[in-house]
Amino acid sequence: MDIKLDVNESNDFVEIYVNGEIDAYTAPKLREAVFPLSEKEGVKMVIDLSEVSYMDSTGLGVIVGVFKSVRGHNGEFKLVGLSERLIRLFEITGLADIIDINSQIEGGVQ
């Protein structure tokens, strides 16, 4: 399985749509595309995972790294469109307590 990314940038707002599986094979592609965007001061980043069917620990590592980078640059970070399976993964790992995961797409960072 491959991964498809669609990135929309507007000023300090970045919206990223991810389609496919995030695993050891595809996570480097995600990191390569998203991490540079996370280093922009004050960026508001939303990653839409509604078309992600699977994520392993490698994918979680990329998400955590991007989250830390966004927060380190005084930005806001949100994940939207998570399936029940992905919500459970974030809850089990304790990341749901740290990262804003919202199952509904609201059209921006709140």
Over residues 53-95, the pLDDT tens digits come to 999 999 999 999 999 999 999 999 999 999 999 999 999 999 9
Rounded Cα gap, residues 63 and 95, in angstroms: 10
- Residues 6-19: what's their mean pLDDT? 95
**pLDDT for residue 105:** 52
| Residue bearing tokens 């050891």 | 24
**pLDDT for residue 110:** 43
**pLDDT for residue 102:** 84
State percent of the chain over pLDDT 70.
92
Q: In CATH, which of 2.30.42.10, 3.30.565.10, 3.30.750.24, 3.40.720.10 is domain 3-102?
A: 3.30.750.24
**Per-residue pLDDT for 2 more than 90?**
no
Please report, for the chain, the start and end positions of each structural domain, with discontinuous segments joined by +: 3-102
Amino acid at 12: D
